[in-house]
Structure 1
């Protein structure tokens, strides 16, 4: 779930042909009329806070991300209310290490480089 949310956060301005985003680069809201999803994003320095909701379905979700040096900490709540967290450590030319707990409570850890993940 963490990876899906990361992709969602990085693709906010590309959520659909009729999607619209308004605000500044540090505080903005997006609405996708096709899906009914709404996103609110607040950026403060190296931290980003995103909340989303869908009035049609009544679902809500969130994701927080903060970077300190070469480590990024992320956590969130899925639309079903389950929580997840992830730490990403940038190891330079050795790749990145991803570790955390998914929305079902399962721990994971893997390192990915240009040669693949292990």
Structure 2
């Protein structure tokens, strides 16, 4: 299942490990010569805008996030030009996230304070539920 936001987050995390980043005021720009990924994030108080591209593939993507209290709302455009969205609300030591992937599939996840996450997804016909522990073991 494509979850572009998850892919973007994983790419961003792994890119941070090998990317060269510079920060000037509220603007952070990063480039990873290994992958060809580059992205710039603009922070405006409780909102941020990230625009990225890959020099090797010529693809681009974007993400907008707004934070309100214990919630954050994100939407973006994947490298294939399709859109996605998600919202996350934190309640105590638990986070609930709902969204729609760039392929149009709805999904949600609940992460508990002990690190356990329950993922649910649906393509409108089939539903799937996966539980993962704090160590990344899923069943």
Normalising by structure 2, we get a TM-score of 0.72
Cα deviation, 1:25-82, whole Å, max 9, x if unaligned, reads: 5102111112111111100111111111122211001111111001100111111111
Q: Is 1:76 equivalent to 2:79 in the alignment? A: no
8 Å contact from structure 1 (residues 96, 111) kept in 2? yes
Alignment: residue pair count: 114
Equivalent position SS for 1:114:
coil
Higher relative contact order (CA 8 A, sep 6+): 1
* Aligned counterparts of 1:65 and 1:11: Cα–Cα separation in 2: 20
Query: For residues 10 and 34 of structure 1, do their structure 2 counterparts lie closer, same or farther at Cα, with a shift above 3 Å needed?
Result: closer
Q: Residues 68-110 of structure 1, C-alpha deviation per residue, up to 9 Å, x if partnerless?
A: 00110011111111111000000113x0111010111011123
Aligned-partner Cα distance in 1 for 2:68–2:11: 22
Are the counterparts in 2 of residues 5 and 63 from structure 1 also a CA contact under 8 Å? no
> Aligned pair 1:3/2:2, yes or no?
no
Q: Which residue of 1 aligns with 2:106?
A: 107
The whole-number CA distance in structure 2 between the counterparts of 1:12 and 1:25 is 21
The 2-side partners of 1:9 and 1:45 are apart by 21
**C-alpha RMSD over aligned residues:** 1.9
Unaligned runs of 5+ in 2: 119-139
